[in-house]
Amino acid sequence: MLDLIIAGGTVVDGSGAPRLRADVGVAQGRITAVGDLRGQPARAHHDATGRIVCPGFIDVHTHDDRLLLGTPHGPHPKLTQGVTTVVTGNCGISLAPLLSATTPPAPLDLLGADDWRYARFGDYLDALQAARPALNAVCLVGHSTLRVRHVADLERPATPSEAARMAADLADALDAGASGLSTGLYYPPARAATAEEVIAVGAPLTAARGILTMHLRDEADAIDDALREALHIGRALGVEAVLSHHKLIGQRNHGRSVQTLAAVDAAAAHQPVCMDCYPYNASSTMLLAARVGQSSEVLVTWSRGDPSAAGRSLFALARERGCTPEALVEQLAPAGAVYFAMHEDDVRRILAHPLTMVGSDGLAHDAVPHPRLWGTFPRVLGHYAREQRLFPLETAVYKMTGLSARRFGLADRGMIAPGYAADIVVFDEAHVADRASFEHPTTPSIGIDAVFVNGHLACEQGRTVHAHAGQVLRRTTKLGPAYSSPGLAT
């Protein structure tokens, strides 16, 4: 007997193929049948008549490392969107391996001031599994986290011995089940790192067939050099390289996605490379004075220097206080911000590109977060697929499921097909939409009827039903104890 039949829906299977009318049968957390299941016995039925049934969405770019350890009260920012799997540890920032009794340097503090208590990455994975997370988790090791742990002076490149210790930590993490390495060369803790350092630290990825996700060193005037560097690192390691939240910042760079995407296409003919992006023309990260002049507006998302600034315009606050926005940054720091510095045409062009996956890049611990934390996936379905007709619904779903699973090596996720994990979303194609805005960024989306995680009904009509149905998805390729890092060339 089946545990569940999702009956009467229209299946968009995650491959990009045309939709079809079919029932979906589930047993022991797996999809066992797709077709006409009328008359087959099942312990539970879910009526999906008039609805789309598709794989659970895979958020390939998150900072949910700490969020997954707890049980959010009220609506869940990811389950309410139909997300069933998240990739954590992006932009060089992971919660492990790092022991710290004090708040680590920005941007690591985007994950919070505490919980830095995992000396080994495997300890974090074990704690996460013990917490029984709401979502499935694919976990990356952050290069910046490794630098804070091992590099004595963050203002210089790592020495050969420091790079060797970072590589040894990465190898240990990969053996424990980490899926790869992320970098954040844009940010202060890693800004001094050279490409050669990243290659030395990332050397264990090659044998483990791990993935490398890269926040480029620059997303503005020096985007071409930064892109070449990232592609060079990916080629040197011989692994899949993901260009994180690809975008163009600053007015004089608007429109340059034509050239950057052409460069990615040329590289893709010779090496594995892809991208992720979020469906908004505003970004969010730590509050940086260098970003102010590139932006038409800056909203403060949190501030330890002045918590009352959260949710306010930096420019308006500066006028009220009679100082420059750049001077105010120093008064508010450490802090986070939303920057309006991108052009919608670039967002559309990048989002529509065949190599682009969807990631929210949401910051779960911001006091007033970017709305992408709550609205990314319904926004792709509603605004870009249904209203803007940027691509068909089947393509939108593929970018959020099958493509992501294939690129991250999730062999049994991202498809509605027998044998695949029963991560399933049921939604109303005509009405699904994001409702989170910059004024009200935590408003849940609408049109997501039901979300199943590993066969369990986890969310229904925005209400969390099962907050512990997720699993830690560990990479199984092992390096073994014989691995030794080549370190950096002297």
The pTM (predicted TM-score) of the whole model is 0.96
Instruction: Verify cis geometry, omega within 30 degrees of 0, for the bond prior to 334.
Output: yes
267 and 342 assigned to the same domain: yes
Determine how β-strand 424-427 pairs with β-strand 83-88: unpaired
145 with 179, same domain: the answer is: yes
SS3 string, the chain, reads: CEEEEEECCEECCCCCCCCEECEEEEECCEEEEEECCCCCCEEEEEECCCCEEEECEEECCCCCCCHHHCCCCCCCCCHHHCEEEEEECCCCCCCCCEECCCCCCCCHHHHCCCCCEECCHHHHHHHHHHHCCCCEEEEEEEHHHHHHHHCCCCCCCCCHHHHHHHHHHHHHHHHHCCCEEEEECCCHHHCCCCHHHHHHHCCHHHHHCCEEEEECCCCCCCHHHHHHHHHHHHHHHCCCEEECCCCCCCHHHCCCHHHHHHHHHHHHCCCCEEEEECCCCEEEEECCHHHHCCCCEEEEEEECCCHHHCCCEHHHHHHHHCCCHHHHHHHHCCEEEEEECCCHHHHHHHHHCCCEEECCCCCCCCCCCCCHHHHHHHHHHHHHHHHCCCCCHHHHHHHHCHHHHHHCCCCCCCCCCCCCECCEEEECCCCCECCCCCCCCCCCCECEEEEEECCEEEEECCEECCCCCCCECCCCCCCCCCCCCCCCCC
Q: How many residues does the chain have?
A: 490
d(CA 244, CA 181): 12
| Domain-located, residue 469 | no
Strand pairing class (211-215; 180-184): parallel
Residue 146 contacts residue 119 (beta carbons within 8 Å): no
State the CATH number of the domain containing residue 418. 2.30.40.10
In a domain, 228, yes or no: yes
- 389 in the same domain as 248: yes
Q: pLDDT per position in the chain (490 positions), as tens?
A: 999 999 999 999 999 999 999 999 999 999 999 999 999 999 999 999 999 999 999 999 999 999 999 988 899 999 999 999 999 999 999 999 999 989 999 999 999 888 999 999 999 999 999 999 999 999 999 999 999 999 999 999 999 999 999 999 999 999 999 999 999 999 999 999 999 999 999 999 999 999 999 999 999 999 999 999 999 999 999 999 999 999 999 999 999 999 999 999 999 999 999 999 999 999 999 999 999 999 999 999 999 999 999 999 999 999 999 999 999 999 999 999 999 999 999 999 999 999 999 999 999 999 999 999 999 999 999 999 999 999 999 999 999 999 999 999 999 999 999 999 999 999 999 999 999 999 999 999 999 999 999 999 999 999 999 999 999 999 975 444 433 433 444 3
> Is the residue at 67 inside a domain?
yes
Within this chain, do residues 203 and 139 fall inside the same structural domain, yes or no? yes
Q: What is the pLDDT of residue 88?
A: 98
Task: Tell whether 206 and 313 lie within a shared domain.
Answer: no
Do 269 and 316 lie in one domain? The reply is no
Do 46 and 149 share a structural domain? no
Do residue 131 and residue 10 come from a single domain? no
In Å, what is the CA distance from 131 to each residue of 13, 125, 250, 292, 363?
30, 10, 42, 39, 20
Separation of alpha carbons 90 and 92, rounded Å: 6
Give the CA angle between residues 123, 129, 135 to the nearest 5°: 130
pLDDT score for 226: 98
Peptide bond into 107 cis (omega under 30): yes
Same domain, 295 and 418: no
Evaluate whether residue 477 is within a structural domain.
no
Residue 483 lies in a domain: no
Strand arrangement, sheet containing 42-47: 30-35, 23-27, 2-7, 42-47
- Residue numbers of the domain that contains 324: 287-337
Same domain, 450 and 352: no
pLDDT of residue 72: 81
**Residue 481 forms part of a structural domain:** no
What is the bridge-based pairing of β-strands 448-453 and 180-184? unpaired
Tally of domains within the chain = 3
Contact 111, 302 (CB under 8 A): no
- 157 burial type by CB count under 10 A (0-12 exposed, 13-18 middle, 19+ buried): middle
The closest of 232, 318, 217 to 267, measured between CA atoms, is 232
Could you give phi then psi for residue 463, rounded to 5 degrees?
-100, 130
CATH code of the domain containing 296: 3.30.1490.130
Measuring CA to CA, how many Å separate 354 from each of 275, 299, 440? 9, 32, 32
- Asked if residue 292 and residue 279 are part of one domain, the reply reads no
Q: Does the residue 484 lie in any domain?
A: no
476 found inside a domain: no
Residues 108 and 125 occupy one common structural domain? yes
Strand order in the sheet with 297-303: 282-286, 335-340, 297-303
Residue position matching structure tokens 């264990």: 204
CATH number for 107:
3.20.20.140
